């Protein structure tokens, strides 16, 4: 157990933390606004009910349901941000960001630079994804590497309720566009954490060492960090001491924390649910190679999604991404 989880803390869920972050941000800053499909109360408060109650409390000027029009949603968020507002644009599922890609990649990411700093786009794009529901090829992709490859947008994703709160609040405060990715299948997993107070922030770009260890470093994020924590506990029983680093922010990522740990253990495994090939792990592995060549005891290992669309059939979906067993096997292999 890590320091953060040790004490017997109340069980809370990531979804509760995100809802509270909305409540607090809306209460504290009248410039915070939100828009997206079905998110106001007459439409049920969002498919995951995260914004339930928000439009009733803060009014339907600030909390707007939209037509199914992702480009229009993203454009409106960008425009309002240019005029001093702090919009949170909800794109229901990460695959639907593809419909708004021009707005995000050509505009949100670049307006500050192209205007020589005269304009800025302090928006948050909140979006959900993750396999596990048998929804097949168009509803659960992890596309973080696309955004991480786009200078001008920050990308983050939490794996604990505290981080969900702290990262979302930091993303709202941030002067630049942030893609905030949530893993849907673990939304309602109760975890032993406290719901943070309204001052809590997790600075963007700062990783968390969630388990300390000396033999193996795992660099990961999102649902895979949850699996890695459990695998680290199992590995400890087998006498292997694993350090688990949750990046939390994928772009810009915390090189110092990762390199310090890699230098200490000399054995690094990078795990993400996204397709392994050309994934965020490739960048991390390359930097470790550039900086620590010679200090490594084993080649860096990467675990990631298979090179295919997410398949529908249960046994295929189960085999598609890393799981606790494959992470544990990788730990044992690299430690041997």
Partner 1 sequence: MAEKQFVADSAVLRSIYERAALLKANDERARKVILSGQIAMVYYSYRGQEIIPSVMGEVLRDDDTICTIYRGIHDMLGKGFPLNELWAELIGRTTGSCKGKGGPMHLTYPPKGIMVTTGIVGSSAPIANGLAWAAQLDGSDRVSVCTFGDGASNIGAVHEAMNLAAVWKLPTIFVCQNNLFAEHTTFEKMTAGKNIANRAEGYGIPGVRVDGNDPEAMYSAFAEAVARARAGEGPTLLECMTFRFFGHNFGDDDSYIPKEQKAAAMEADPVPALRARLIADRIATEEELAAVEAEIETRIDGAIEHALASPWPEPDDLRFDVFAQEIAA
Ligand X SMILES: Cc1ncc(C[n+]2csc(CCOP(=O)(O)OP(=O)(O)O)c2C)c(N)n1
- Hey, which residues are catalytic here? 70, 139
Q: Look at residue 306 and give the partner it binds from ligand X, partner 1, none, a contact being a CB closer than 5 to 8 Å depending on partner kind.
A: partner 1
The minimum distance between CB 297 and ligand X, in angstroms, equals 46
Integer Cα distance of 146 and 131 in angstroms: 18
| Residue indicated by tokens 């740990």 | 261
Q: Which residue's structure tokens are 């991480």?
A: 148
Q: Where are the alpha helices (DSSP H) in 49-140?
A: 54-58, 70-82, 101, 111-114
Q: Does 99 bind partner 1 (CB under 8 A)?
A: yes
CB of 70 to ligand X, least distance (A): 6
- The answer to whether the CB of 327 falls within 8 A of the CB of 271 is yes
Contact window for partner 1 (CB under 8 A) among 38-46, 149-157, 166-174, 178-186:
38-46
From candidates 16, 24, 37, 90, binder to ligand X by CB under 6 A: 37
The burial class, CB within 10 Å (0-12 / 13-18 / 19+), for 118 is exposed
Q: Which is nearer to partner 1, 43 or 176 (CB)?
A: 43
Binding-residue pattern over the window 308 to 327 for partner 1, x denoting contact by CB under 8 A: xx-xxxxxx--xx-------
- 287 binds, options partner 1, ligand X, none, Cβ within 5 to 8 A by partner type: none
What burial class does residue 238 get, using C-beta atoms within 10 Å of its C-beta: 0-12 exposed, 13-18 middle, 19+ buried? exposed
Binder of partner 1 out of 3, 10, 30, 69 (CB under 8 A): 69
Among 70, 141, 163, 182, the residue binding ligand X under the rule CB under 6 A is 70
State yes or no: residue 102 binds ligand X (CB under 6 A). no
Q: Binding to partner 1 by residue 195, rule CB under 8 A?
A: no
Give the separation between CA 251 and CA 259, rounded to whole angstroms.
16
Question: Based on CB atoms, which residue is closest to ligand X, 96 or 147?
Answer: 96
130-133: Cβ within 8 A, 24+ apart: 130/183, 130/184, 130/185, 130/186, 130/222, 130/223, 130/273, 131/185, 131/273, 131/310, 131/317, 131/320, 131/321, 132/184, 132/185, 132/317, 133/184, 133/185
* Binding status of residue 56 toward partner 1 by CB under 8 A: no
Q: Binding residue for partner 1 (CB under 8 A) from 139, 154, 169, 248?
A: 139
- Three-class secondary structure of residue 179 per DSSP: strand
The answer to whether residue 68 forms part of the interface with ligand X (CB under 6 A) is: yes
When CB distances are held under 5 to 8 angstroms depending on the partner's kind, the choice from ligand X, partner 1, none that residue 136 binds is partner 1
**Which CB sits closer to ligand X, 37 or 162?**
37
| CB within 8 Å of 86: residues ≥ 6 apart | 29, 31, 32, 33, 122, 123, 124, 172
* Binding status of residue 92 toward ligand X by CB under 6 A: yes
The yes or no reply on residue 47 touching partner 1 (CB under 8 A) is yes
Which stretch in 19-27, 92-100, 186-194, 219-227 sits in contact with ligand X by CB under 6 A?
Answer: 92-100
Q: Which range binds ligand X by CB under 6 A, 54-62, 91-99, 178-186, 323-331? A: 91-99
Binding of residue 146 to partner 1 (CB under 8 A): no
Q: How far is it between the farthest Cα atoms of the chain?
A: 60
Contacts of 336 (CB under 8 A, 6+ apart): none
Task: State the Cα–Cα distance between residues 249 and 1, nearest whole angstrom.
Answer: 22
Tokens of 7: 């004490």
Enumerate binding residues for ligand X (CB under 6 A): 37, 68, 70, 92, 96, 99
Enumerate binding residues for partner 1 (CB under 8 A): 37-38, 42-44, 47, 65-72, 95-96, 98-99, 133-139, 306-309, 311-316, 319-320
């Amino acid at each position: 157990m890590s320091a953060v989880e040790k004490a017997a803390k109340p069980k809370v869920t990531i979804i509760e933390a995100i809802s509270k972050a909305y409540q607090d941000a809306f209460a504290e800053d009248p410039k915070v606004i939100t828009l997206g499909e079905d998110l106001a109360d007459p439409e049920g408060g969002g498919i995951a009910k995260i914004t339930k109650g928000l439009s009733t409390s803060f009014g339907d000027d600030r909390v707007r349901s939209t037509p199914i029009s992702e480009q229009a949603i993203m454009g409106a968020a960008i425009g309002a941000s240019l005029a001093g507002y702090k919009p949170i644009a909800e794109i229901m599922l990460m695959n639907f960001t593809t419909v708004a890609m021009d707005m995000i990649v050509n505009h949100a990411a670049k307006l500050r630079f192209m205007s020589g700093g005269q304009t800025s786009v302090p928006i948050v794009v909140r979006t959900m994804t993750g396999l596990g529901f048998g929804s097949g090829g168009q509803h659960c992709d992890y596309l973080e590497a696309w955004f991480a490859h786009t200078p001008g947008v920050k990308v983050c994703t939490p794996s604990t309720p505290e981080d969900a709160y702290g990262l979302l609040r930091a993303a709202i405060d941030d002067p630049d566009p942030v893609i905030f990715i949530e893993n849907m299948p673990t939304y309602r997993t109760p975890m032993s954490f406290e719901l943070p107070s309204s001052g809590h922030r997790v600075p963007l770009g700062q990783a968390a060492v969630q388990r300390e260890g000396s033999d193996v470093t795992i660099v990961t994020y999102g649902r895979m960090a949850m699996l890695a924590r459990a695998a680290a506990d199992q590995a400890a029983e087998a006498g292997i001491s694993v350090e688990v680093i949750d990046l939390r922010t994928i772009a810009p990522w915390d090189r110092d924390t990762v390199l310090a740990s890699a230098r200490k253990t000399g054995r690094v495994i990078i795990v993400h649910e996204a397709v392994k090939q050309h994934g965020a792990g490739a960048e991390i592995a390359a930097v470790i190679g550039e900086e620590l060549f010679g200090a490594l005891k084993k080649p860096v290992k990467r675990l990631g999604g298979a090179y295919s669309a997410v398949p529908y059939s249960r046994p295929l979906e189960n085999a598609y991404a890393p799981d606790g067993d494959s992470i544990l096997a990788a730990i044992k292999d690299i430690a041997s």
